[in-house]
Structure 1
Amino acid sequence: MGEHSAGDRPDDDSTAPAEQLEIAVAAARKAAKSAKPRKPPALAAELPVARVVVDKALSHLDQYFDYAVPETMAETAQPGVRVRVRFGGHAAGDRRRGGGLIDGIVVDRLAASDYSGPLARIERVLSPEPVLPARMLDLARAVADRYAGTLADVLSLALPPRHARVETEPAIDPLPAPGRPEPGSWARYADGPRLLEALAAGESPRTVWTALPGPTWPGEIALLLAAVLASGRGGIVVLPDGKAVARVDEAMEQLLGRGHHIALTAEVGPEERYRRWLAVSRGTVKAVVGTRAAMFAPVADLGLVALWDDGDTAHSELHAPQPHVREVLVMRALREQAAFLVGGLTTSVDAAQLVRSGWAQPVEADRARVREAAPLLRTVGDFDLARDDAARVARLPTMAWDVARRALESGPVLVQVPRRGYVPHAACLRCRASARCTACVGPLELTSSEGALVCSWCGRHEVGWRCAECGGAKLRANVVGARRTAEELGRAFPRVPVRTSGRDAVLATVPDVPALVVATPGAEPVAADGYAAALLLDGWLLLNRPDLRAGEEALRRWLGAASLVRPASEGGAVVIIAEPTLRAVQALVRWDPQGYARTELAERAELGLPPVSRMASVTGSPTAVAELMRLVRLPEGAETLGPVPAPPPRSPQAPANTRTSRARSKSAAARAAIERPPAPASDAPGLWTPGRQAPEPPPEERRERLLIRVAPGRGAELAAALKSAQALWMSRGPAETVWVRMDPLDIG
């Protein structure tokens, strides 16, 4: 066959491809202009307007928005359901300019809107499942107002992500209410039986419970829930971690069996958590035991809200607007006429304030019961250490070594070490100056006996370190961590197994056999029959933290460990290495957390410090803090403290007043930033270090912190003023980030 040129092809089109495209576009435009606009679907005949809270966590957009309800969604777009709407467009009725699709929740249906312009229509009802009843909306609004936050932020904390498959599963009928429980171990408390009777009778007492040492408190919490279930009402118990939830969960199953309660924790996974949350929302289960997020569990006919160990920082939400579980449960108790209980092995100063104000009543055991349940407590102070030759060369003073040796004949021994790691803080052997990173001036730590120096701030490996003061190259341990302690104890007791429990691997329980259990505070496992003894090392490290709550926190950590030890009548003993004249140490020896809290509260009242007063913190660059404060109209009598230099964030994380991802990433870096204990002031960049000054950070990285204090009763005004200032700040367009927080935990 011969070759053909392009002009010889039989299907050749003389029009070029570009000309064909222009013709097609022109024809399409002409057809679009001549086409008649489609008539929009009819609106609902009754209540055609839906009031929606949209998923936009910006202070100047913290309001409800009205949308039109199509006739096809008249039955499904009911208050409490999730919807998809268009938001941010110029013309609400124009799909092409109506903004992007975002999630929202219908909060009300109205006959008409007070907005005069055209209303955008609801695009889709995601699910007919009501997830936000009116009582929970009211609570979320109150929480947002108290913490100067937005409703959208609070709802992101209160509502778990949706899983459509779970909503299609059939509901299970609820079990009948159990009978009234017997007092059990509550008989050891003067008002314990009366408390159970009041709950079972449908009353709503408010109590601050100081639990006796020992393993009985999970069963006592289970009795509280059983009593409130017997009255036909529901209950919520919030605990600081999954380990504590597991203990109460097990106690509930032993007392009532399965089906009367559920456990809400992150460990169960998002789908299972949504399944359990729906069981509560639908009324299948009326008792909830869980961690922080359980404070928003939508329990109907709520009869009891309870909180265990309210001094634990895990009860303070990390995401905006950072509410505290205790305050949220107080608000729920008031709004839903429910009983309130805050309990723990110790009494927080905030709980003592509830008793002092008369809002709650104490539930305590008499001194004879306390002495009967507590172990023998002994102290090793500075004077004892100076006279102890063994303490200079060994990790344990002679008294602690003798107690551990005798206790290992009958059971395990707990060793509490305040710091994790191997050597978390090193110093020059010659001049004692802290070992600092040459890049960021952060403290250097040793990860093992043969490991390199690593900066605990930036993670940089320091090779060939030399002291900046004297040029020395040898190091000493300023602070010894849990792993180094375990290594040294293994050499001191060569025939005894050594177990460790900390952030990397937390043990829930240990067998009742001789062993040394080295744990960081809060990670102490439970021994089957109690520990034979406990050694509380480096007490000065907990007490020397530059924090208003340092003594309170130290006492809470010590009592938590000592309560796992057998009573003195069974040979249980606790040795604490700390100066015995200090108030917190004396409170431990006497086992008197109530007295310590009352004394601490009286001192704070004299100084006008929380919880007697309300405080807020504003943190950011000097320019941003000054600009925001110019916009704030502070309440009468408000007092500003500072500003003072604030250390920059050690790792990237969302600020308190900005929105974080709903997924809330749990990467290793994020966990490290969240779980790292507060560093002493000398570890903060920008502050003085021994012998030299930290290099000045760039101006854009400098941060200042300002505290605002108001008298009791003016906290709501302060929160409203700060929120209004933030709204004005954000409405002006892109601006620097400013961290605003009500009731900051750390004001040291």
Structure 2
Amino acid sequence: MTTVARVVLDSPLPQLDRLFDYRVPAELEDDCVPGVRVKVPLRTGARMSDAYVVEVVSEGDWPGELSAVEQVVSPVPVLAPEIWSLARAVADRAAGVASDVLRLAVPTRQVRAEKAWLARDTAWSPPSVEPTPVTGYADGVLEALLADRGRAAVDAVPHPVDVGTADDPVWVPGWAATLAQAASHVVAREQSAVLAVPDFRDVTDLERALLAVLPPERVVRFDAKQTNGQRAKALLQARTHAVVAIGNRTAAFAPATELGLVAMWDDGDASFVEPRAPYVHTRDVALVRTAQSGAALLFLAHARSTDVQRLVELHWLQELAPHRVPTPRVIPTAQQAGAEGFAAQARIPSTAWRAAREASQHGPVLVQVANPGFGTGLVCADCGERAHCRVCGGPLGSPHRGATPQCRFCGALAVGFRCPTCGGGKLKPVGQGAQRTADELGRAFPGTRIVVADGSRPLDEVPARPAVVVATRGAEPSVPGGYACVLLLDGERLLAREGLRVQEDVLRFWTNAAAKGAPGAEVYLVGIGGKLATAMALWRLDGPAHDELVDRRALHFPPAVRVATLTGTDEAVTAAVEALGDAVVGAVLGPVPVPEDPVPGTVRAIVRFAYAHGAEVAATLKAEVIRRSSTRRVLPGGNRRRAAPTLRVRLDDAEPFTEV
């Protein structure tokens, strides 16, 4: 009887995105098991391709003679069956290629990690876990949901929480404490949990919270800061026993012995969008994985995304809110109302300035601003024309006073700048960035320590001592016990951007910063009124998400519908749109030229379709991509070669709806 290995090739070509049958030689049968890396011949024996074994069967579907597996690269099964099923489903949903997803899920081979895993003590088991009660919510509600493997949108506890002991306090954000406590209930049943967060600061906070309730052997990191060796070690550890896998986008693909919980913090963060093909959002990976595994699903946030709000209004997710937990005291103030002197220059109204000055005597004060650097931009000192980069045309900025102007897009230094309009060589800053705000606050708060935190000067934590911390959105460091006061500046500037998700993004920025305040700390929202200010003041943040979703439904914009972006030649894009037929909802947006594309004549069209037609649309568009990729053209002299792809497809693409 012939043993046949069905393998997935490590190839990005869409026409090779299927399982191939290969005969397993007798000498390789013991090592050729599902999940191992192998080398197989492709078309000719001289051309070898890397592949993963998906399954081993006694007979194949091919009636003819099969080529043989050339080599088992390693006997270690690195591709778990559930990860293959997840990769296949995610790729099909995004009209992509499964091998592209597997590159996100499985790191390159690391011999040292594999040898250590093979030499492990198989009789060893990690310490048992006692579940920790989930605090901040009605007694037993979240624990019961986990036991029933339910699904919920959870409003996070909006202040720091101490998860340590009286002798050794451990302060973490409220959401991190909730996730750690929930994970302890899952691991206590010898089930695994997958927890995905946006960036490295969140990973650090979550790890600290987990280590306060779980032994270190039960916590495994999957994040972008790891080396391939660390990722390989983590992957094999997660396959050995029940653990909590934490990290950013890659954590969603962590293997699990028995998955009991998938959770995400702040799913609306743009960091969850994978920048590589097939460009899937981690939220979609989480939804697919819970549907396949039956695990519990939690989306935690202060300000809910419209995508999660849609699932709530479909009653697919239930709502959970903190019980008898103090909310931030948000005080909307008019811009510059009564401000004087340096406080006015720093854009702080007098009431907020007095509160911040008093609070700074007892602890740190957080000031959130919109932009890093000294100013938001540079203009010609003679004519006022906006200064742009000579290399890429991007806006010029200055990281601090007296620094050489630098492009905000490509980073090129603008040495010897000359204005193309008047020929002037002097530039002056406009607007106020983090550094300029810090300079003004240094004058407004004499004798107080001023700290700047932004992308170029990241800080995880500042001590609970008097200080003024000026931070850009998303870069706010934590404080043990929380900030004594929080000022939210530049709200009008943040809301002035154009894009579908501007309002929900700004609400996330504000609420995440406000939640870093101590219980009872005052939060001043400067220069904002209307519904957003009311929602912040009442801490009723589901209303804006609902209103946004109502508007999206009326306009047929995501997430009320799904979208597909088609890029390529005019003929290819038009043919793909026609192939979709009646699945398209509303008018097709485009085709329009794409001047930034390196291929001349490239156009782009956006089609919208209902969620119910998602599988049909993805399959149709992928078939079009394969058809275009498989054609050949005849060159002068009779040479034949494969043409460059004339059609590119991206589903659920947010870029066309977002201002850069």
TM-score (norm 1): 0.79
* Aligned partner letter, 2:201: K
Whole-Å separation in 2 of the counterparts to 1:277 and 1:521? 33
Q: Determine helix, strand or coil for the equivalent of 2:497.
A: coil
Whole-Å separation in 1 of the counterparts to 2:488 and 2:257? 44
Q: Who is 2:106 aligned against?
A: 159
Q: Who is 2:638 aligned against?
A: none
Whole-Å separation in 2 of the counterparts to 1:436 and 1:280? 49
Q: Who is 2:153 aligned against?
A: 208
Q: Who is 1:178 aligned against?
A: 129
| Pair 1:425–1:394, CA change in 2 (3 A) | same
* Aligned partner letter, 1:745: A
Report the Cα offset of residue 65 of structure 1.
1.5
Contact 2:418 2:425 in 1 (8 A): yes
Q: Who is 2:207 aligned against?
A: 249
Contact 2:374 2:429 in 1 (8 A): no
1:114-513 matched pairs, under 5 angstroms: 114-169=61-116, 170-171=119-120, 173-175=124-126, 177-183=128-134, 185-186=135-136, 189-190=137-138, 193-199=140-146, 202-215=147-160, 216-282=174-240, 284-365=241-322, 369=324, 372-381=326-335, 384=337, 393-428=345-380, 432-438=384-390, 440-462=392-414, 465=417, 467-468=419-420, 475-513=427-465
Q: Who is 1:603 aligned against?
A: 551
Whole-Å separation in 1 of the counterparts to 2:420 and 2:596? 23
Report the Cα offset of residue 177 of structure 1.
4.2
* Aligned partner letter, 1:713: A
* Aligned partner letter, 1:238: A
Report the Cα offset of residue 701 of structure 1.
5.4
Report the Cα offset of residue 352 of structure 1.
0.8
Q: Who is 1:62 aligned against?
A: 17
Whole-Å separation in 2 of the counterparts to 1:537 and 1:723? 46
Whole-Å separation in 2 of the counterparts to 1:144 and 1:510? 42
Q: Who is 1:8 aligned against?
A: none
Q: Who is 2:613 aligned against?
A: 714
Q: Determine helix, strand or coil for the equivalent of 2:216.
A: coil
Counterpart pick for 2:508 among 556, 566, 570? 556
Whole-Å separation in 2 of the counterparts to 1:615 and 1:520? 31
Whole-Å separation in 1 of the counterparts to 2:291 and 2:595? 38
| Pair 1:65–1:340, CA change in 2 (3 A) | same
Whole-Å separation in 2 of the counterparts to 1:415 and 1:293? 32
Structure 1 residues 229-263: Cα deviation after superposition (integer angstroms, max 9, x where no partner)? 23332211111122212222222221233323322
Contact 1:50 1:106 in 2 (8 A): yes
Q: Who is 1:80 aligned against?
A: 35
Contact 1:614 1:714 in 2 (8 A): no
Q: Who is 1:670 aligned against?
A: none
Report the Cα offset of residue 149 of structure 1.
0.5
Report the Cα offset of residue 473 of structure 1.
5.7
Whole-Å separation in 2 of the counterparts to 1:241 and 1:458? 23
Report the Cα offset of residue 440 of structure 1.
4.1
* Aligned partner letter, 2:626: A
* Aligned partner letter, 2:220: I
Counterpart pick for 2:477 among 522, 525, 534? 525
Q: Who is 1:669 aligned against?
A: none
Question: Which moves more between the two structures, 634-643 or 544-553?
Answer: 634-643
Whole-Å separation in 2 of the counterparts to 1:408 and 1:304? 41
Contact 1:628 1:726 in 2 (8 A): no
Q: Who is 2:635 aligned against?
A: none
| Pair 1:379–1:643, CA change in 2 (3 A) | farther
1:43-62 matched pairs, under 5 angstroms: 46-62=1-17
Report the Cα offset of residue 341 of structure 1.
0.8
* Aligned partner letter, 1:719: A
Report the Cα offset of residue 553 of structure 1.
0.1
Report the Cα offset of residue 267 of structure 1.
2.7
Counterpart pick for 1:745 among 633, 654, 658? 654
Report the Cα offset of residue 467 of structure 1.
4.8
Contact 1:375 1:566 in 2 (8 A): no
Question: Which moves more between the two structures, 587-596 or 170-179?
Answer: 170-179
Report the Cα offset of residue 356 of structure 1.
0.6
Q: Determine helix, strand or coil for the equivalent of 2:307.
A: helix
Counterpart pick for 1:627 among 565, 572, 582? 572
Please tell me whether residue 111 in structure 1 is matched to residue 58 in structure 2: yes
Report the Cα offset of residue 88 of structure 1.
3.9
* Aligned partner letter, 2:133: E
Report the Cα offset of residue 335 of structure 1.
1.0
* Aligned partner letter, 2:522: A
* Aligned partner letter, 1:636: D
Structure 1 residues 39-67: Cα deviation after superposition (integer angstroms, max 9, x where no partner)? xxxxxxx4422111111111111111122
| Pair 1:256–1:79, CA change in 2 (3 A) | closer
Count of residues in Structure 1 that have an aligned counterpart in Structure 2? 627
Whole-Å separation in 2 of the counterparts to 1:400 and 1:235? 43
Please tell me whether residue 573 in structure 1 is matched to residue 518 in structure 2: no
Contact 1:616 1:708 in 2 (8 A): yes
Q: Who is 1:665 aligned against?
A: none
Whole-Å separation in 1 of the counterparts to 2:458 and 2:413? 27
* Aligned partner letter, 2:582: E
Q: Who is 1:588 aligned against?
A: 536
Whole-Å separation in 1 of the counterparts to 2:373 and 2:601? 30
| Pair 1:724–1:360, CA change in 2 (3 A) | same
Whole-Å separation in 2 of the counterparts to 1:586 and 1:427? 36
Percent identical: 37
Q: Determine helix, strand or coil for the equivalent of 2:21.
A: strand
Structure 1 residues 150-189: Cα deviation after superposition (integer angstroms, max 9, x where no partner)? 0111111111222122222233533354234334x23xx3
| Pair 1:703–1:590, CA change in 2 (3 A) | farther
Q: Who is 1:727 aligned against?
A: 626
Structure 2: segments with no counterpart, 5+ residues: 161-173, 632-641
Whole-Å separation in 1 of the counterparts to 2:24 and 2:16? 22
* Aligned partner letter, 1:233: Q
Contact 1:79 1:106 in 2 (8 A): yes
Contact 1:262 1:285 in 2 (8 A): no
Report the Cα offset of residue 99 of structure 1.
3.9
Q: Determine helix, strand or coil for the equivalent of 1:548.
A: coil
* Aligned partner letter, 1:648: E
Report the Cα offset of residue 576 of structure 1.
2.4
Structure 1: segments with no counterpart, 5+ residues: 1-45, 90-97, 650-698
Report the Cα offset of residue 617 of structure 1.
1.2
* Aligned partner letter, 2:431: V
Contact 1:355 1:362 in 2 (8 A): yes
| Pair 1:522–1:605, CA change in 2 (3 A) | same
Whole-Å separation in 2 of the counterparts to 1:428 and 1:392? 25
* Aligned partner letter, 1:61: L
Contact 2:7 2:52 in 1 (8 A): yes
| Pair 1:626–1:416, CA change in 2 (3 A) | farther
Whole-Å separation in 2 of the counterparts to 1:291 and 1:360? 23
| Pair 1:255–1:112, CA change in 2 (3 A) | closer
Whole-Å separation in 1 of the counterparts to 2:359 and 2:328? 16
Report the Cα offset of residue 295 of structure 1.
0.6
